[in-house]
Each structure stands twice: as structure tokens, then as C-alpha cells.
Amino acid sequence: MNWDESDAGKAYAAQVASHRGWVVNPDQDITAHVTQSLAQIARLKGKPYCPCRDAEGQEADHDIVCPCKYATQDIQEYGQCFCGLFLSPLKDPREVTSIPERRPEPEDR
């Protein structure tokens, strides 16, 4: 992925969704914000760390490289990932909301 391209974040999200059988949230406000942040983080830190969480860009954060380790379970349980970027095909996009953080506290990882 060339993160310098202007729509790299969107292209990445489309690739991930297609690969996982998910849907990219059609809400342009959410999607534009999250994908632009993903691309910016990838340019700064070398990997697309989750923009909805604090990341140092170290090995300890391997679980939150997008698509994060928690997305599959969150999409199964809530129909969406923590950021609301990826949805289950069954999820009504109008029902995207904040969901509980599944990532354990640092001392429990």
C-alpha cells in the first residue's frame, strides 16, 4: 500500500472489507475521518494503527494494526468494529454507535 496516495486509506478499507466479507460504513463522515486518520498514522508510524485508540507504534501495539485483532469479534457481536469503519453486511449503518472497548488494559495483554 502506498500511503502517500490521496485515497490510500479508502482503498485500504475497501481491500480489507472485501477480504473479510465486511462492508465499509457508507456514512461518508465516519469513513472519511477514519480512513484519512489511518493513512496519516501509517505515514507517520509505518503501519495503519487504529485511529480510535492510543498507539505508540511499537511491537506492543501489533494487536491494533487495522484490521485490529478485536474487529472480527466486535463485528460478530455488535455488527461493527470499534471505530465504526467496518460493518457486518447485516448491520443497519444508521445504528452505528460507540461500543465497548474489547482491547485489554496494557497489563492484561
Residue ranges in contact with ligand SF4 by CB under 6 A: 34, 50, 52, 64, 66-68, 71, 81-83, 85-86
For 94, half-sphere exposure in the C-beta direction (CA atoms, 13 angstrom radius) is: 0
Q: How far apart are CA 65 and CA 69, in angstroms?
A: 8
Q: How far apart are CA 18 and CA 25, in angstroms?
A: 13
Q: How far is the CB of 92 from ligand SF4 (least distance, A)?
A: 18
Identify the CA nearest to 3 among candidates 32, 58, 52, 44: 44
Nearer to ligand SF4, 23 or 34 (CB): 34
Nearer to ligand SF4, 81 or 96 (CB): 81
Q: How far is the CB of 57 from ligand SF4 (least distance, A)?
A: 14
Nearer to ligand SF4, 42 or 66 (CB): 66
